[in-house]
Amino acid sequence: MSADLFHAGLGWPIAATLAAVSFASSFITVAFGIGGGAVMLAVLAVLLPAAAIIPVHGLVQVGSNAGRLAIMTRYVHGAVVPAFLIGALIGVGLGGATVVQLPAGAIQLGVGLFILWSVFFRPPALMRRSAALTGVISSFLTMFFGGTGPFVAAFVRGQELDRMSHVATHAALMTIQHVLKVAVFGLLGFVFSQWIGFVALLIAAGFLGTLVGRQVLARIDERLFGLVLRGVLTLLALRLIWSGGTALAVPGG
């Protein structure tokens, strides 16, 4: 097996950087319940070809969330899963029927604005209460912008679960959403095979982050880290908005 398989033509410096980000993003999500997927998406949007950003992010997130779910299954609040699954099926179906090949600049701009929105605003109250509606809306949006974890987390937070159940239930719902998204992108013709080794590298790094994050789940200063995380996400989002806006402003960009 060629070593090139594990960096998918991006080169080892980029692959190693993204593996480190995958470790950190999984750690963040387990330890703080939210934010890791958005960090991963923001960095992928800077370093990956535009057409690969959303589907590759989805496949990485399948592994990341499934790993988290595997070690925390007994904490899942199963009552919300069936309704979310039905909503997610509808959402990815609608998204798959309307998703188009957007210019690179438009994708970067959209992802950047979406991340900023998720950092500074809350989803509507109705969406925070309904598993089915959360599944529909977040799964539709994930086909275009990828990082809908904050939407789903807002709903899970509304269930008033303890910390372990919050993290586990969020992992279960996001695993469902990303599996469905990857399946639809495969049906739409995205060639996942050329990214498999690279994604496996990121998933392995992410699983290590999950294991470490679980150990420190209740031992860290959430308020301080939350401020730092918001700052990092904001800077990454502004970087994407600048890059995307600049690309769109150039004729043919």
Distance CA 22, CA 25 (A): 5
Tokens of 228: 């730092």
Alpha carbons 142 and 166: distance in angstroms, whole number: 21
Angstrom distance (rounded) from CA 186 to CA 141: 17
Q: Show the CA angle centred on residue 101, arms to residues 99 and 104, nearest 5°.
A: 125
The predicted-structure confidence for 79-132, as pLDDT tens digits, reads as follows: 999 999 999 999 999 988 876 555 767 766 876 787 787 677 766 666 667 899
> Which pTM was predicted?
0.76
DSSP 105-136: HHHHHHHHHHHHHHHH----HHHHH-HHHHHH
Q: What is the pLDDT of residues 227-238, one digit of tens each?
A: 766 776 687 778
Helix (H) or strand (E) run with residue 6 in it: none
- Residue 172, CA distances (Å) to 4, 98, 143, 190 in order: 32, 26, 18, 25
Residue 188's SS3 state is: coil
Distance CA 18, CA 246 (A): 24
- Alpha-carbon torsion (100, 101, 106, 110), positive or negative: positive
List per-residue pLDDT tens for the chain, 253 residues long. 455 666 666 778 888 888 999 998 888 877 766 667 778 888 888 888 877 888 888 888 898 889 889 988 999 999 999 999 999 999 999 988 876 555 767 766 876 787 787 677 766 666 667 899 989 988 988 887 777 777 787 788 778 787 788 889 989 999 999 999 999 999 988 888 888 888 899 989 988 988 888 777 667 666 766 676 677 668 777 877 887 788 788 755 4
